[in-house]
Structure 1
Amino acid sequence: MDVEPPLGLREAKKQETRQLISDHATRLFQRQGFEATTITEIATAARVAKKTVTNYFARKEDLALDHHEEFTASLARAVDARKPGESALAAVRRAFDTALRERDPVAGFAGPAFARMVADSPTLTARLRELHEQREHALAEALAAATGAPADDVLPRAAAAQLASALRLLFVRIQERTLAGATDTEIATTFGAEAERVFDQLEPALGRYAVR
């Protein structure tokens, strides 16, 4: 009689399988192109059933953009984690500085092959645009909660639009520099000043907004 592994082991195995599938999918996408690669090919490469792939990834795009949940929640989490006396802008700025130092994929660090894969795929480009919009929506909800604003208040949405647009611009700039041949280390060590200028431009409007 087979004995089921403890919950912790089962979850670890699931994460291992999920990562294995995603890794094989990314390699195929980079070699063949996203649109040209099939779920069947991914399942074969990962040595799992096709249904296993679709169980772990509801959308083909999520096989490539597998940090999507972390990405869409990132700005809202930064606001939720702001320190006493810290504004939403300051918290987001601090989170971006950390992401820059750590070469975080959520900030746009993905390497040239991955950046080219996304840029060459209309489907992935559209999905990434959708994820940026979802991130802005999550941020607006976090700002409304942080300020106690009523559901129909436009200010949290306006603030979220400004912050999310700034982070989207920085994400795109990192991708552009990656495609131009700069390494992650080169970008991380030279991009700080440019990011500072972007955040400084928001300071007059949002410097005291949603202070904890």
Structure 2
Amino acid sequence: MSAQTLREQKKQQTRQAISDAATRLFVERGFDRVTIAEIATAAGVAKMTVTNYYPRKEDLVLDLSEEFVAGAARAVAAGREAGVPAVEALAEDYLAAVERRDPVIGFAPEPFARMLTESPVLLARLREFHEQREAALAAALAVDWPPGDITPLAQAAQLGGALRVLFGRLVERVLSGEGLDAIAVAHEAEARRVFALLPPPPEPPR
């Protein structure tokens, strides 16, 4: 194994140790009551090491934010390449995420979900991610429209709104204490209903 590989492996182990320690403390005591210094002590690293890996405290919880923001736009872009309308492409991608119980869309242990929803800071950060995801969707949809056209913005708002509703409902189900398998079955049916309510996309100008 090369020195470079060993360094990368060590970095990943350190990152995981920090994340594990933070998650444990957040679940036990609540996100807002835990300090970066306490996380560093629990992980056996310096405080600066924690902030080097996770610049914002929220990043320790919402470490899948990049996929959360970019995943929907990527699915829409891939659908365009395959000739699949945006709504269908997004629905297919979302239902696949339900099948694999993907934490990006809201599948999580109940204590984690409760910790998340009880923190005003984390809820505010989540709202930012929802807005960023909608902006990414608008950018992906805008490829087919003239610059400044309002259509991709409106369509992104519809798609982003559907995803926001589904995320909220999934978290509600997790908090209810249902098993993940039962949640997945019920949520799949709800997701199909939500996507069926979305209007077919308009035809872009030729």
Give the TM-score normalised by structure 1. 0.90
- AA at the equivalent of 2:110: P
Q: Compute the displacement of 1:110 (Å).
A: 1.1
Partner of 2:169: 173
Q: Residue 89 of structure 1 contacts residue 209 of structure 1 at CA under 8 Å; is this kept in 2? A: no
Structure 1, unpaired ranges of 5+: none
Q: Residue 111 of structure 1 contacts residue 183 of structure 1 at CA under 8 Å; is this kept in 2? A: no
Partner of 1:186: 182
- AA at the equivalent of 1:141: A
1:54-76 Cα offsets, whole Å, 9 max, x none, are 01111101111111111111111
Structure 1 vs Structure 2 CA RMSD: 1.6
Partner of 2:113: 115
- AA at the equivalent of 1:137: A
Cα distance in 2, alignment partners of residues 133 and 18 from structure 1: 27
Cα distance in 1, alignment partners of residues 88 and 122 from structure 2: 31
Cα distance in 2, alignment partners of residues 140 and 35 from structure 1: 33
* Residue from 11, 15, 20 that aligns with 1:14: 11
Partner of 1:158: 154
SS of alignment partner, residue 146 of structure 2: coil
Q: Compute the displacement of 1:174 (Å).
A: 0.5
Cα distance in 2, alignment partners of residues 209 and 104 from structure 1: 32
Cα distance in 1, alignment partners of residues 140 and 9 from structure 2: 30
Cα distance in 1, alignment partners of residues 132 and 203 from structure 2: 21
Counting aligned pairs with the same residue, the percent is: 56
- AA at the equivalent of 1:154: I
Q: Compute the displacement of 1:189 (Å).
A: 1.7
Alignment of 1:134-149 (within 5 A): 134-145=132-143, 147=144, 149=145
SS of alignment partner, residue 182 of structure 1: coil
Q: Residue 87 of structure 1 contacts residue 209 of structure 1 at CA under 8 Å; is this kept in 2? A: no
Partner of 2:63: 66
Q: Compute the displacement of 1:14 (Å).
A: 2.1
Cα distance in 1, alignment partners of residues 45 and 51 from structure 2: 11
Q: Residue 87 of structure 2 contacts residue 200 of structure 2 at CA under 8 Å; is this kept in 1? A: no
Moved more, 186-195 or 24-33: 186-195
* Residue from 184, 193, 196 that aligns with 2:192: 196
- AA at the equivalent of 1:165: G
1:118-154 Cα offsets, whole Å, 9 max, x none, are 1111101111111111111111111112x1x233111
Cα distance in 1, alignment partners of residues 101 and 29 from structure 2: 26
- AA at the equivalent of 2:14: T
Cα distance in 1, alignment partners of residues 189 and 203 from structure 2: 23
Which aligned runs of 4 or more in structure 1 are off by greater than 6 angstroms? Answer: none
Cα distance in 2, alignment partners of residues 209 and 30 from structure 1: 48
- AA at the equivalent of 2:189: A
Partner of 2:129: 131
